[in-house]
Amino acid sequence: MVFRSEEMCLAQLFLQSGSEYDCISELGELGLVEFRDLNPSVSSFQRRFVSEIKRCEEMERILGYLLREIQKTHIAVPEEDESPLAPPPRQVLEIMEQLQRLEMELSEVARNKEKLQRNLLELTEYTHMLKITRTFIHSRSRHEALGPQYEEFPTMETDSVSGCTGMQRLGAKLGFVSGLIQRVKVEAFERMLWRVCKGYTILSYAEVDENLTDLDTGEISKSVVFLISFWGDQIGQKVQKICDCYHCHLYPHPENDEERADVLDSLRTRIQDLNNVLHRTEEYLRQVLQKASESAFGWVVQVKKMKAIYHILNLCSFDVTNKCLIAEVWCPVSDLANLRGALEEGARKGDATVPSFVNRIPSSDTPPTLLRTNKFTSGFQSIVEAYGVGDYREVSPAPYTIITFPFLFAVMFGDLGHGIVMSLFALWMVLTEKQQKKKRSSNEIWETFFSGRYIILMMGIFSIYTGLIYNDCFSKSLNIFGSAWSVKAMFTNQQWTNKTLQTNSLLTLDPNVTGVFTGPYPFGIDPIWNLAVNRLSFLNSYKMKMSVVIGVIHMSFGVVLSIFNHLHFRQKFNIYLLFLPELLFLLCLFGYLVFMIVYKWLAFGARDSSQAPSILIHFINMFVMQGKDLAPLYPGQTGLQIFLIVIAMLSVPVMLLGKPLYLYWLYRGGKGLRRRRGYERVRRVSEDDTSAAASYEDDDEEEGLDEAPGREALPKEFDFGDVLLYQSIHTIEFCLGCISNTASYLRLWALSLAHAQLSEVLWGMVMRLGLRMTTRVGVVFLVPVFGLFAVLTVSILLVMEGLSAFLHALRLHWVEFQNKFYHGTGVKFLPFDFSLLPSVFEQDGLL
């Protein structure tokens, strides 16, 4: 962690033909540079290495198919400890051929397997159909055999003379259609048969006990065997069309029982043979996938790296005359030596006769912001960057946030017991972080907690500290050092008698009586306050004043940090025209309020506490110039307050007009080219209070431009109105913000009070019920009571209250602290790093 972003430079890379692939590969492994697009006007489909990228996408498609097949068979894809390097271009075709051969083999085996499964399903369905329709034919009564039917055939009346039915006289033949249909379609199927065939059919059906799998959808569903009896070929054609419409699986119906038995025996033999063949096919497929899974992870990484390399090469421009690729990169100045080493290594691997080299070039563009972090500081840096990425070389709030953020959280969350539970949870995540990273959980909530494990650990540790200060542990106080208050002294000095105890429900300990109060508690708040009726009033006063003191110190620290930006960017005029007026305005008003709080704590003791004046009234009278009738807090108070008010009021016009007038004077008064150039640099800095371009230019470059006035354009026309408007907004925001931000820190008091009261309510309404039972049953009853108390403590006080305190601490840093010196309008440095590239297979859950 550094206090400001790394110094960056713009460099040109000259990559010789034949070694450009290896050079980019080395840079991707190291993650040193961010590439710029030198072909912004060229579409993605017209760039030089489009065919190579398409080849990589084809390999990604094959790998996706391979990983899906591996996932279906529940085979784990082993990950290599070390990430494989990007393969050289001559090996790309070999990998492509391996994947294509593997795809063809898998496709053929998968097709054969699917064909076998379909045949097996058909034979299984045919077997069920034969078994179930046999019960329809051999039933004793026609009604029982046919089950649900529409009506008897209307033309089946027997002629009394010839003994033949009407249908027989017409030459009609009885026919059967049998098969299977899905259970959900039976009712519609039955209704359609009735409407179309007008009752000239008899439908019998029964549900299959075994669940059958639909190979097209992969769903397991219930099927129904049906048998349709009909007269006439026309009715048969209609029945056939209806069955096709409902996607019924039709099978031939045997003429007699002997044929049915022969077909069943044949089906049993064929099913057994198919099961054996299918088992051997699945074993072979599993062996192929098992062997492929050993190389799948390496192939995925290699293809991802190849595609990224060719994408970067498309950003470069091709110099035909020099036979090399030219790339522009942002690189940290401290990594230039490593960059040259990577290019040398790439040229060696590519067997290039001419080495690739780096040329540092000047630029007026704003460099990206790079702040190096580790696993401990990355969480705090994420908190800062959620507000905005810092400007180039701007002071970073992250190093101070490591301390101030968990401290402000702990002020609102201060409880020894809750802090210990939070710390233990975070410590468990820290100690098992290697195992947790290997699991790669897809739960976003868990990932959020795990990525912030060090933040939670620091918040827990600081909560333990503030819990000891508040002397609060699950709403109970700890008597570690013994109370400094003594009840015995009240009786010894005859302040209290037995009659006093009998006639008064509440008694007051008088610290003015000798021996009642022997001195302050060694660490934190005296535990006797946990028994006092006026405990809440005492803690309210204490925490409210503490919140104001902490808030003013925190905001003042933010204003002080702005001076480092002014000094670094060589804007000394901002020190006198912005920094000093802001600091004087803040300290003369609210710094004085802190002084009065501390002075009152020190100047007034127990004996004269009744004569102590109200700080709030004195602070209000300070603005309205009244209060002469009130007793002063200290001698000379009125004169000092008038002086501070005058200083604060004079700071406002300096903030409002100082910078615009200075810039106007600089523009109108500078006659020489150097003076004009000095104004131009200040103007560029002052347009949005950023100075990346100004600080990025070297003094040598400026001197060179001064010697060549033909290259220097005249400065832009100065717009005093725009500068004054911007400065007016800043002044109003700062002055009003000092008031609202100071009041905003009172949330420290409010949330601390709310957390303590919730903890006390939870103890009194849950845990105390179990502790009050003194019988043996009470021991058994205490177990579920403690379980309920633990669940409510974790869910309400740790999770909900912890999240509330976290959000409020976040707001105090973003709004009250960071806006005093941090702009957060920069662009983050995004290096070309293979380890940071997302994988489409990981996003789809295939890896």
The helix-helix angle for 50-72 and 257-314 (nearest 10°) equals 140
- What lies within 8 Å, CB to CB, of 375 at 6+ separation is 433, 454
pLDDT of residue 227: 86
Tokens representing 354 are 């001419």
- Which CATH number is 113-143+173-273 given? 3.30.70
| φ, ψ of residue 318 in degrees (nearest 5) | -105, 125
Instruction: Say if residues 28 and 832 touch (Cβ distance below 8 Å).
Output: yes
Instruction: Say if residues 470 and 410 touch (Cβ distance below 8 Å).
Output: no
Integer Rg of the chain from CA: 42
- What is the Cα–Cα distance from 492 to 792, expressed in whole angstroms? 46
Q: How many CA atoms lie within 13 A of 704 on its CB side?
A: 6
- What is the Cα–Cα distance from 580 to 566, expressed in whole angstroms? 12
Say which CATH topology domain 1-29+318-370 has: Alpha-Beta Plaits (3.30.70)
pTM of the predicted model, to two decimals?
A: 0.79
- What lies within 8 Å, CB to CB, of 706 at 6+ separation is 673, 674, 677, 712
pLDDT of residue 680: 52
Instruction: Say if residues 520 and 484 touch (Cβ distance below 8 Å).
Output: yes
Is beta strand 223-231 parallel, antiparallel or unpaired with respect to 324-332?
unpaired
Type of residue numbered 521: Y
Could you count the other beta carbons within 10 Å of the beta carbon of residue 580?
17
Q: Where are the domains of the chain?
A: 1-29+318-370, 113-143+173-273, 376-484+519-658+721-820
807 alpha-carbon distance from chain centroid: 15
- What is the Cα–Cα distance from 183 to 172, expressed in whole angstroms? 32
The helix-helix angle for 673-687 and 699-707 (nearest 10°) equals 130
- What lies within 8 Å, CB to CB, of 448 at 6+ separation is none
Check if 1-29+318-370 and 113-143+173-273 are the same fold. yes
- What is the Cα–Cα distance from 578 to 652, expressed in whole angstroms? 10
Mean pLDDT by 10 residues, the chain (847 residues): 85 88 92 92 88 92 90 84 85 90 91 89 87 69 42 41 43 76 88 82 83 74 85 85 89 83 89 91 90 89 93 87 84 93 88 83 91 92 92 93 96 94 96 86 86 95 95 90 84 76 79 82 89 88 94 96 93 93 95 94 82 86 78 86 94 93 82 46 48 38 36 56 92 94 94 93 86 76 88 92 95 94 92 88 73
Could you count the other beta carbons within 10 Å of the beta carbon of residue 797?
21
